[in-house]
Amino acid sequence: MPIIAGASPPGHDSPAALARGFLTGGVVGASPAALVVGAVTGKPPLFVAGLVLPALCGLLFFLAGRPRRIREAAAVPRTALAVVESLQAVRGEASDIPVRFELSVAPDDGPSYRVEITQDFNLVDLPDYRPRGVVVVQYPPDRPWRVRIVKRPTPQWEERAAAARLDSAPATVTVTAPPEGGAFCLVAPLGLLLGAAAVVLPFRADLVGQDVTAKPPSAARPSVTSTSSASSTSTTVVSSVSGTVALGPGRSFLDKGELGRALGSLTRGGDTRRALTVVVRERLLSIVFSPSGTRTPGFDPRTLPRSRFSALVEDATATLGVRSPRTWQITADRLTGSLVIRVAVSGAEGTASLEADGQGRVVRRAPAR
Amino acid sequence: MGWNVYLVLWCGVFGAVALTGYVRSLAGMTRAQRTVRTTGRIERVDEPRHGSSPKDGIAVVVSFQDPATGEEFTVTNDGERGERVGVAWTGREIGVHYPPGRPHAFRFADHPSEGGRGLGWPAFALFLVYAGPVTVAAVERGWPWALVGFCGPWALYAAYHLPGNVRDRNRRIDALDAMAAVPGRVVAVLKSVSTDDDGHTSTHLVPVVSFTTLDGRAVTAYCESALPDPAGSRGLDVTIHYTPHDPAVFVLDVEAERRSWKRDMAVNVVGVVIIAAAAVAGVIAW
């Protein structure tokens, strides 16, 4: 059927429509992904972002569509007479059923045109509408295809409709709504995929780590996302379950600032991962991290009293009868409830140790045996 | 720490919304304040067709004048036009309101009124600002905080308005005694059938009564209650009791209406007592 499309309004397949489709798809993909990833990895900000994002997007669309809505609302609808060419009740068991009409609209100030509409009518009122009957219709001046039959016309229009004899418009001048932009359907899935990927990919390490820690501890092994950086002076290896820093020759973790730097490199990025155990030796630092999402008694390794470590090693060396220490080791954990720091020194006389609390105060000494 | 960040964000966002709303209201810029409110006059009333839908209201032709331009408009209640016209007689005054400069976007209101200050949304935003800390306190420190935080102000608000509500109920009960009685008739029964997602159909019946007041006004009105068998009530003769100065206020059974208002008053008082008791329980358990 030849069709005269109404003046196509801007927006279909325009860059703005593409952006809207992409943004909608992106939010639809990113929001559930953020909710799931936030819940699985135990990151509340991500979870909250998953809730806030759709609200922000909705607000953005609301504000963006406001000028158009104001423009459309300001337009005075046009009233005209129309002839019912045909009508057909679509379906329904309720008292109000949708009815499809084919109308010939005869505007006072323009040529007649045909249009197809669907409008709800009460079954009792339906006999008022018959083919070739004249009805009063209204439509927005800029969208002549959005015709609505006026069920209760004013007395003036009622008289006009009763007295009018209208001819049908040729079927060739059918006005229809411009087709919906197909590009929207094209970019929306793309946005959805990219939105979901943008959330999932940065956190894939945490998601994979979750899988590893879900297995028995013996099955846990360093994640494939382990990163290694080697320089001339130290080597750092971090995985989702542990981290180690090995210093080069001639350096010691008792040197000023050395331990702080090493701990920082293992917990960088503001990540507040908690540690199960921290072991410090002359040139080797090891941390076993608490599995995420479990309630094991961990602690923040950055809160250790690092400045006291050197004094504790000296204390153990000087007061425990170990006169020629060959090795020393500091172990920190809070498996018994409170943070306990154990310092062990070994030498020709045997092994001696002392225990200190979370502030580095000595609470127990065990001389060399 | 984590909670506090979200709480601050929550309070900040809704506090800003509330502040914006109150500033707009003070400046007279809210939609409710800018809306043009005028009085329309019902020029013609069409008798409802038996069996038709009640949702569109009684078909009326209304004339009103735009105060800004002086232009006269004659309109009908076709489609979505605000409040449903449930009582109509020729010459009745009803409220007509529309955005400034757009009389074609008119809406009807059952009674002409001044309109509000548009403080509904700002007040709701303010409530959300208040509800945030109370909820956090209830989660972190125990349920008494919820009882005290929510029921306390609610009880105070309800107690403050209780005397006014009681006076209003008493006035309505007194008004029942001053009603005039005239004969009326059920001229049609309107029917609305809807189907839910499970395929269940429900039918809503609304009898329409017609009566003439002592001063000659022919009133057509929806009468949604007080008829024992609405489906078969068409043609039934009834006695209508109406308020002489406003026939829109009418009842069929004065005694039932009196009992209803007394029950309403009792429910009001008991409600305030329950809320206050909940607040007191919260204080005791604190």
For residues B23 and A318, the model is more confident at: B23
User: Which pLDDT score, from 0 to 100, does residue A245 have?
Assistant: 85
Asked whether residue A210 is domain-assigned, the answer is no
User: Which pLDDT score, from 0 to 100, does residue B249 have?
Assistant: 92
Contacting residues of A for B101, CB less than 8 Å apart: 74
Q: Are residues A189 and A260 in the same domain?
A: no
Asked whether residue A209 is domain-assigned, the answer is no
Report which secondary-structure segment, H or E, holds B248: strand B246-251
**What is the DSSP secondary-structure string of A25-84?**
HHHHHHHHHHHHHHHHHT-HHHHHHHHHHHHHHHHHHHHHHHHHHHHHHHSPPEEEEEEE
**DSSP symbol at B52:** S
The pair of structure tokens assigned to A367 is: 């001389």
Q: Are residues A231 and A319 in the same domain?
A: yes
A40 pLDDT above the threshold of 80: yes
- When CB atoms are compared, the residue of B51, B105, B193 closest to A94 is B193
What is the CA angle A176-A179-A182, rounded to 5? 175
Contacting residues of A for B193, CB less than 8 Å apart: 93-95
Is the Cβ pair A73, B102 closer than 8 Å? yes
For residues A344 and B121, the model is more confident at: B121
Residue A352 DSSP SS3 = strand
Q: Are residues A68 and A92 in the same domain?
A: no
Please report, in tens digits, the pLDDT of each residue of chain B (286 residues total).
567 888 999 999 999 999 999 999 999 999 999 999 999 999 999 999 999 999 889 999 999 999 999 999 999 999 889 999 999 999 999 999 999 999 999 999 988 877 788 899 999 999 999 999 999 999 888 889 999 999 999 999 999 999 999 999 999 898 898 999 999 999 999 998 888 878 788 888 999 999 999 999 999 999 987 788 888 889 999 999 999 999 999 999 889 999 999 999 999 999 999 999 999 999 998 7
Q: Is residue B61 exposed (0-12), middle (13-18) or buried (19+ Cβ within 10 Å)? A: buried
Specify whether the backbone of A207 is left (phi greater than 0), alpha (psi in -120 to 50) or beta.
alpha
Is the Cβ pair B201, A122 closer than 8 Å? no
Interface test with A, best of B5, B17, B53 (most A CBs within 10 A): B53
Bridge partners, B207 (sequence order): B189
User: Which pLDDT score, from 0 to 100, does residue A3 have?
Assistant: 46
CA nearest to B52 within chain A: A124
Q: Are residues A349 and A362 in the same domain?
A: yes
Domains of chain A: total: 3
A5 pLDDT above the threshold of 70: no
Q: Is residue B211 exposed (0-12), middle (13-18) or buried (19+ Cβ within 10 Å)? A: buried
- When CB atoms are compared, the residue of A48, A73, A124 closest to B49 is A124
Is the Cβ pair B193, A93 closer than 8 Å? yes
CB B274 within 8 A of CB B267: no
CB A206 within 8 A of CB A33: no
Q: Residue A233: pLDDT band by 50, 70, 90 thresholds? A: low
Q: Which of 145-164 (A) contact B at CB < 8 A? A: 148, 150-156
Residue A242 DSSP SS3 = strand
Q: CA of B195, closest CA in chain A: separation in Å? A: 6
User: Which pLDDT score, from 0 to 100, does residue A359 have?
Assistant: 84
CB B109 within 8 A of CB B94: yes
Instruction: Determine the Cα–Cα distance for residues B70 and B84; give it in Å rounded to an integer.
Output: 26
Tell me the helices (H) and strands (E) count for chain B, helix number first: 6, 11
Instruction: Determine the Cα–Cα distance for residues A150 and A152; give it in Å rounded to an integer.
Output: 6
Asked whether residue A213 is domain-assigned, the answer is no
**What is the DSSP secondary-structure string of B169-210?**
HHHHHHHHHT-EEEEEEEEEEEEEEEE-TTS-EEEEEEEEEE
- In chain A, what is the greatest distance between 2 CA atoms, to the nearest angstrom? 122
Contacting residues of A for B192, CB less than 8 Å apart: 95-96
CB A75 within 8 A of CB A135: no
Instruction: Determine the Cα–Cα distance for residues A312 and A305; give it in Å rounded to an integer.
Output: 10
User: Which pLDDT score, from 0 to 100, does residue B230 have?
Assistant: 87
Cα–Cα distance list, A20 to A61, A69, A103, A187, A223 (Å): 8, 17, 34, 9, 39
The verdict on pTM exceeding 0.80 is no
Q: Are residues A153 and A94 in the same domain?
A: yes
Asked whether residue A212 is domain-assigned, the answer is no
Contacting residues of B for A154, CB less than 8 Å apart: 61, 74-76
What is this model's ipTM?
0.85
Bridge partners, B130 (sequence order): none
For residues B103 and A257, the model is more confident at: B103
Asked whether residue A208 is domain-assigned, the answer is no
Task: Encode pLDDT of B149-160 as tens digits.
Answer: 999 999 999 999
User: Which pLDDT score, from 0 to 100, does residue A6 have?
Assistant: 44
Q: Are residues A107 and A227 in the same domain?
A: no
Residues in B whose CB is inside 8 Å of some CB of A read 2, 6, 44, 46, 49-53, 55-56, 59, 61, 74-79, 99, 101-102, 104-105, 191-195, 201
Q: What is the mean pLDDT of residues A43-68?
A: 90
A194 pLDDT above the threshold of 60: yes
Instruction: Determine the Cα–Cα distance for residues A137 and B27; give it in Å rounded to an integer.
Output: 40
User: Which pLDDT score, from 0 to 100, does residue A235 have?
Assistant: 78
Is the Cβ pair A154, B2 closer than 8 Å? no
Is the Cβ pair B201, A93 closer than 8 Å? yes
Asked whether residue A336 is domain-assigned, the answer is yes
Q: Are residues A60 and A97 in the same domain?
A: no
Residue A98's domain comprises 78-176
Is the Cβ pair B59, A152 closer than 8 Å? yes
Is the Cβ pair A94, B53 closer than 8 Å? no
Q: CA of A51, closest CA in chain B: separation in Å? A: 12
Cα–Cα distance list, A138 to A81, A101, A107, A153 (Å): 9, 14, 10, 10
Q: What is the mean pLDDT of residues A16-45?
A: 88
User: Which pLDDT score, from 0 to 100, does residue B220 have?
Assistant: 96
User: Which pLDDT score, from 0 to 100, does residue A219 have?
Assistant: 39
Q: Are residues A305 and A345 in the same domain?
A: yes
Q: CA of A95, closest CA in chain B: separation in Å? A: 5
Contacting residues of B for A120, CB less than 8 Å apart: none
User: Which pLDDT score, from 0 to 100, does residue A213 have?
Assistant: 44
Q: What is the end-to-end Cα distance of chain B in Å, rounded?
A: 24
Angle between helices B2-26 and B120-141 (to 10 degrees): 160
A229 pLDDT above the threshold of 50: no
CB A356 within 8 A of CB A337: no
Q: Are residues A145 and A193 in the same domain?
A: no
Asked whether residue A69 is domain-assigned, the answer is yes
**By C-alpha distance, which of B284, B282, B8 is closest to B138?**
B282
Q: With an 8 Å Cβ cutoff, is A229 touching chain B?
A: no
Instruction: Determine the Cα–Cα distance for residues A344 and A330; give it in Å rounded to an integer.
Output: 6
Instruction: Determine the Cα–Cα distance for residues B207 and B48; give it in Å rounded to an integer.
Output: 10
Q: Residue A42: pLDDT band by 50, 70, 90 thresholds? A: confident
The pLDDT mean for chain A works out to 81
Asked whether residue A195 is domain-assigned, the answer is yes
A232 pLDDT above the threshold of 70: no
Q: With an 8 Å Cβ cutoff, is A93 touching chain B?
A: yes
* A152-188 burial: b if 16+ Cβ within 10 Å, else e: bbbeebeebbeeeeeeebeeeebbeeeeebebbeebb
Instruction: Determine the Cα–Cα distance for residues A341 and A274; give it in Å rounded to an integer.
Output: 16
Cα–Cα distance list, B158 to A221, B119, B143, B249, B283 (Å): 63, 19, 22, 27, 18
The pair of structure tokens assigned to A306 is: 């690092």
Contacting residues of A for B74, CB less than 8 Å apart: 154-156
Contacting residues of A for B59, CB less than 8 Å apart: 152
Instruction: Determine the Cα–Cα distance for residues B264 and B274; give it in Å rounded to an integer.
Output: 15
Q: What residue type is B232 in one-letter code? A: G
The pLDDT mean for chain B works out to 91
- When CB atoms are compared, the residue of B53, B105, B195 closest to A122 is B53
- Beta strands at A242-247 and A284-289: parallel, antiparallel or unpaired: antiparallel
CB A113 within 8 A of CB A144: yes
Instruction: Determine the Cα–Cα distance for residues B28 and B22; give it in Å rounded to an integer.
Output: 10
